[in-house]
Amino acid sequence: MANVVVVGTQWGDEGKGKIVDLLTRYADYVVRFQGGNNAGHTLVVEGKKFIFHLIPSGILYEDKQCLIGNGVVLDPGVLLEEMTELADSGLPVKPDRLTISERTHLIMPYHRALDLGSESVKKKGAKIGTTGRGIGPCYGDKILRSGIKIGDLLDDNLFRDKLEQNIIEKNRILTENYGQEALSYDEIYGQFQEYAEKLASFIGNVSVKLDEGRKAGKNILFEGAQGTQLDIDHGTYPFVTSSNTIAGNACIGSGFGPAHIDEVVGILKAYTTRVGEGPFPTELFDNVGDAIQKKGGEFGATTGRKRRCGWLDAVVANEAVRLNGVTGLAITKLDVLSGQGNLKIATSYKANGKTFTAMPGNIRTTQKLEPVYEEIAGWQEDITAVRSLEDLPVSARDYLKRIEDLTGTAPCIVSVGPDRAETLLLRNPFDR
């Protein structure tokens, strides 16, 4: 058995969905441990595209157990939409395949309203670039101990009491601070009663299930959302998400003991992208950036927003290796760099007369960072048909080797195209 965590090493959008899908064939359980429907995993299977926001992408395999951990914040309406879309594709989601932790907090309508309201009153330059899905306010209520858990839906009196208390408080903020209309208690209560009827059979104790699986020798795969630089504690705060995206949260967000984790796979895009606001030292504003954006199809899976594109950042990659304890890298979208000429990799930064080899904690310093690059020869060949490391162009292999040297971490997977088959599995993290 082996227990493997998959995390993003940059600002998200590294192609985690495809790598999770690849590794799921070797897993018995697939667990989502943080984030909400502000993130999306895109998979292309036999030419068909699937986008998942909440359901673990292992649901595409009929013999896998999928679990949503307590570290996730869940919008039940979005979850049910995903389930309907899967059913329409001939993949009905049943309780024997999907378990939602009873401790998973619910995104309520007032969370979405507060999210949009808060962003609307921020001054230019202070906006976070939130997706408006209610993620931050939901995590805020969780920390303030006023949140509503999905398990509360099974206790009508408890749910009523919590909802009533929250509606009074949140309507005051919405009307007085943001000039919005008050929300209806009766309308929300009725809506969530419908959710309760549809989701009750999916609610359970994920921690117990995982422990039973571990003791039975099952392989467990933990999938995170977003990327390391969006971590609420270790990312480019405040331009981050509202949860811990790094590997340590796989245990907290699912109720699994940290001593049982065997491997951490860091997904590293062969270049760098970022959606929304915030510092991005290697961002390109020229034709090269536009070409990468176009060829890579760089649009957010959840928001559809155009992603900002830049050269690979080894400082960010090293930060991720350190923070996550990465044991192997999965390099994605290597094919997008074909035909780009000479490539650049940032190895350090300069700002205020100082050199930085790690991301500074001061956001104003971070916004001034200028990358120090080294150049490496590119390649012209189309590599999407390549199925072994030896068949890659020499320059592509040199690029991978330079990443390994700069991070001290060898690639275990290399993706040369969007489809499942367009992948080189150099080392299987589940092989112990």
Catalytic residue list: 13, 41
CA dihedral 367, 370, 371, 373 (to 10 degrees): 170
User: In Å, what is the CA distance from 133 to each residue of 66, 127, 245?
Assistant: 23, 15, 17
CB atoms within 10 A of CB 251: 21
Burial string for 175-196 (b: 16+ CB within 10 Å, else e) reads eeeeebeebeeeebeeebeebb
CB atoms within 10 A of CB 140: 16
Contacts 24+ apart (CB under 8 A), 168-175: 170/110, 170/113, 170/114, 171/110, 173/114, 173/117, 174/110, 174/113, 174/114, 174/117
User: HSE-up of 281 (CA within 13 Å, CB side)?
Assistant: 32
DSSP calls for 123-185? PTTT-----SSSHHHHHHHHHTT---BGGGGGSHHHHHHHHHHHHHHHHHHHHHTS-PPPPPH
Whether omega for the bond prior to residue 109 falls within 30 degrees of 0, making it cis, is: no
CB atoms within 10 A of CB 75: 24
Token pair belonging to 408: 């001290």
Q: How far apart are CA 130 and CA 179, in angstroms?
A: 20
Q: Which is it for the CA torsion 337, 264, 298, 311, positive or negative?
A: negative
User: HSE-up of 230 (CA within 13 Å, CB side)?
Assistant: 29
DSSP calls for 1-57? --EEEEEESSSS-S-HHHHHHHHHTT-SEEEE-SB-TT--EEEEETTEEEEESSS-G
User: In Å, what is the CA distance from 88 to each residue of 48, 81, 85?
Assistant: 14, 11, 5
Backbone angles phi, psi at 52, to 5 degrees: -110, 135
